[in-house]
Amino acid sequence: MDTKTITMPTRGFSSKAAAAIQSDTRFTEIAKGLSGRDLTSIADFSAEELAAVLELAHAVKAQPEEFRHALDAKQMVMFFEKASLRTRLTFEAAMNTVGGNAIFVDQTKEPLGQRESIPDVARNLERWMNVIVLRTFAHETVTEMAANAKVPVINALSELEHPCQAVADFMTLEERFGDLTGLKFTYVGDGNNVCHSLMLAGALLGVHVTVATPKGFEPDLDIIHKAIELAEEHGGTITLTHDAAKAAIGADAIYTDVCTSMGQEAEATKRAPIFKPYQVNEELMAQAQESAVFMHCLPAHRGQEVTDAVLDSEQSVVFDQAENRMHAQKAITLMLLGGAKRLPKNKVRR
């Protein structure tokens, strides 16, 4: 095993959360508190818990062998109602590399709850499995499974949120910027599930989040209220606008997603002209800081929400985000299954 000293990047959490996890004892307490919990929303985490999950994500990326047998013989089942490349492979790779096993169940032709009630499915799965991962259309499928299963349930995407993506995204920003304090994060496009989780995570981390959407495509009102509440508590801000160019001014990161998500294909023709002014292109990126990064959860529709010139530029960190899905989800799974009682001893904190 490589025992060289690993220097971790500085963190951008609120000062209270950052200070708290400097203690190994405190990390162990947080990990114990997360064991057995569900992750249906990124707001299921407190600021301190999200800080600890991100700390662990950096650790598992830097020193994977430290966690090679952390979840030996543990079983993960993955029910996916939507197509997937990154989510499926990163969860499977994450579970396999900590000693566990992942079982994929294709639900694209038969949504959960159709053949058998979700509570009955939950009562079966908890007898065989240690963790349930769901990628669904209806967010209620995730919450109903979580309410009825005695093992942790992880939201791997629902119509309302994409919390695992948000953990990977802020991990990527920490790698690039270190301390996130005062960071200006701009999301441009549809106020969808990805946008929701980014708003909530950014608020927990004390980041200044600006969201620019077309009229009629704003984020969910309950999410807005929750994000503002969290931002006020942790030193960040939430700003909503319909002006993409204005939102991009001075940004440290510009993020976008597809204009038409899975399940909304019938609206693609209608949406195309509405979202055209929100395309992330070289002109829009020029409004941001010179050091700004471009982010996208992928898959990207080149020429629609983003141009090739931006997606393939040196500012683009989209494939770092994709890689970090694996590390972030490994950290989340380790925490929820009690496989992360401490951080590696040879890690040097700031």
The set of long-range contacts for 61-67, using a CB threshold of 8 Å and a minimum separation of 24, is 61/324, 61/327, 62/6, 62/8, 62/344, 62/347, 63/2, 63/6, 63/344, 63/346, 63/347, 64/97, 65/1, 65/2, 66/1, 66/344, 67/97, 67/98, 67/330, 67/334, 67/339, 67/340
- 346: tokens are 């040879």
pLDDT-wise least confident of 12-21, 70-79, 85-94, 273-282? 12-21
Residue 98 clears pLDDT 50, i.e. is over it: yes
HSE-CB at 248 with a 13 A cutoff on CA atoms is: 27
The helix (H) or strand (E) run that includes residue 190 is none
For residue 19, the model assigns a pLDDT of: 54
For residue 269, the model assigns a pLDDT of: 84
Encode pLDDT of 153-182 as tens digits. Answer: 999 999 999 999 999 999 999 999 988 888
Residue whose structure tokens are 């395309």: 279
Active site residues: 135, 162, 165, 257, 297, 325
- 67: tokens are 């966690």
Nearest-angstrom CA–CA distance, 95 and 93? 6
For the chain, give the mean pLDDT: 92
- 181: tokens are 């304090």
For residue 253, the model assigns a pLDDT of: 98
Task: Express as a percent the part of the chain with pLDDT over 70.
Answer: 92
pLDDT-wise least confident of 51-55, 137-141, 180-184, 205-209? 180-184
Asked whether 213 and 191 are in contact (CB, 8 A), the reply is: yes
CA neighbor of 255 nearest in space, from 287, 292, 216, 203: 292
